[in-house]
Amino acid sequence: MPLAPPPFGKAPHILTLVLMAGLSALSLNIFLPSLPGMTAYFETDYRVMQLSVAAYLAVNAVLQIFIGPISDKYGRRPVVLGSVSLFCLATLGCLIAPNASVFLLCRMTQAVVAACMVLSRAVVRDTHDTEQSASMIGYVTMGMAVVPMVGPAIGGLLDEAFGWRASFGFLLASGLGVWALVWKDLGETKAPSDLSLAAQFREYPELLSSRRFWGYAGVAGLISGAFFAFLGGAPYVGENVFQLSPAQLGLYFSTSAMGYIMGNFLSGRYSARIGINPMIVMGTLITTAGLAASLLLFLIGATHPIAFFGFMVPLGLGNGLVMPNATAGALSVRPHLAGTASGLGGAIIIGGGAGLSALAGALLSPGTGIYPLLLIMLATSAASILCMLYVLKVDRVMRDR
C-alpha cells in the first residue's frame, strides 16, 4: 500500500467515525423511495421487495453478535476494513442482479457494513469514560444523522433521473471512499485479546447477567423499533395513502432525521452535565407524545402528509436523545467488553427493528390506511417508557445496597 497504516493507539478524527456510521445508515435508507418502482421492475410483490429492509436488518442483527467479540479479539481496524470490502462487493452484486432473489441475497450480504456502526461506538468507548462517551456518541450520531436525512432525498432524485440502480452506484462509490479513509486515519484502539475467539464468546454470560445492560438495550431497541417500523411502512403509506412521488417521499423522509440531528446535538451538549438517565426519560416521553398526537389528528379527520411525516420530527428527536445515552449506558456496564456489548446491543436493536419493519409491511394493504403503522409505532414507543422505568428501579436498588 502506498500509505502506511496509522500507529497503534491513534484515535481517528471524528469525521472518520461519522462517515463509518453514516455508510451503514445510508445503505439502509437511500433506496427506500425506489421500493415501489423496484417492485414493478422485478415483477414481484411489495412484501417481497420490502424484505430488502427487513431481511437486511435481520442479517445485520445476527452479524452484530459476532462483530463485537471478533473485534475484541483481533482489533477494530481489520474488522472495519474487511467489512467495507465485502460491502462493496455486495453492492456491485445489487447493481447487476438479474432478478429479485439475487438482489435480496446481495442486499442481505450488504449488512456486513454493520461493523462500521458497531465499531464506531466501540472506538469511542475505548477512548472515553461513560459520560464523555455519551456526548461523543451524540456528536458522532448527530453528524451521521445528516446521511439518513439527505439519503432518501438523494435516492429519490437519482431514481427519477437515472432509475433505481443509481442509488446503489452511489453506495458503491461511498463504500470505496470510506475504505480509503479508514485505511489512512483509523488507528487501532483496542489491543488484541489473549483469549481465544471461543473464550471471547464465553464472556457473553457476564454481560447477559447484567439487568442494567438488558434495561438499556431494551429501551434503545424499543425506541428505535418505532423508527424501523416507520422505515418499513412509510414507503407504502407515501405511495398508497398520500400518492407521493419518489422525490416527494424522499424529502418527507428527512423529517425524522431533522429531529434526530437536534436530539443528538442536545445529547452531545448536555449528557455529561445532566446525566444519561434523565436524557433517556425525556426522549421516550417526547417520542410517545408525538406519535399519540399524530394518531389523534388522523382520528379526527386529518388527510395531509404533514399530519404523519411532520410528527416524525419528535420521533427523530426522541431517538436522538435516547440512543447515544442508552448505548453509553449499555457499553459501560462491562467496560472491558465494550465491543461485545456494542455488538449484542446492536443485535437487540436491529433484530427488533427487523421484526417491526416486517410487521409494518405485512399489516399494510389496500384499505388499511395509516392506522396499523401508527399503532405499531405508538405501542413500541410507549413500551420504551416502561423499560426505562425498570432501569431507574434497578439503579435505585443498587444505590440502596
* Residue 67: strand, helix, or coil: helix
All three cell numbers of 386: 416502561
Question: DSSP string spanning 131-181?
Answer: HHHHHHHHHHHHHHHHHHHHHHHHHHHHHHHH-THHHHHHHHHHHHHHHHH
Give me the pLDDT at residue 1, please: 43
Q: What is the pLDDT of residues 102-136, one digit of tens each?
A: 999 999 999 999 888 888 877 776 766 655 666 67
All three cell numbers of 109: 450480504
> What does the alpha-carbon distance between residue 293 and residue 298 come to, in Å, rounded to a whole number?
9
Give me the pLDDT at residue 4, please: 61
Q: Does the structural domain 14-189+199-400 have CATH classification 1.20.1250.20?
A: yes
> What does the alpha-carbon distance between residue 64 and residue 357 come to, in Å, rounded to a whole number?
18
Q: How far is CA 117 from the centre of its chain?
A: 8
All three cell numbers of 138: 451524540
Given a cut of 70, the residues of the chain with pLDDT beneath it are: 1-11, 125, 127-135, 138-139, 141-146, 148-149, 189, 191-197, 199-201, 203-204, 335-339, 354, 398-401
Nearest by Cα to 116 from 186, 194, 184, 217: 186
Listed in sequence order, the residues at least 6 apart from 279 whose beta carbon sits closer than 8 Å to its beta carbon are 134, 266, 267, 270, 271, 321, 322, 325
Give φ, ψ of 203 to 5 degrees: -85, -5
Domain ranges, ordered by start, for the chain: 14-189+199-400
> What does the alpha-carbon distance between residue 142 and residue 280 come to, in Å, rounded to a whole number?
16
Q: What is the CA radius of gyration of the chain?
A: 20
> For the chain, what percentages of helix, strand and coil (3-state, to nearest 5) are there?
85, 0, 15
> What does the alpha-carbon distance between residue 250 and residue 247 come to, in Å, rounded to a whole number?
5
> What does the alpha-carbon distance between residue 229 and residue 137 come to, in Å, rounded to a whole number?
23
319-348 in b/e form (b: 16+ CB < 10 A) is: bbbbbbbbbbbbbbbbeebbbbbbbbbbbb
Q: What is the pLDDT of residues 241-294, one digit of tens each?
A: 888 887 788 778 778 878 888 888 888 788 878 888 999 999 999 999 999 999
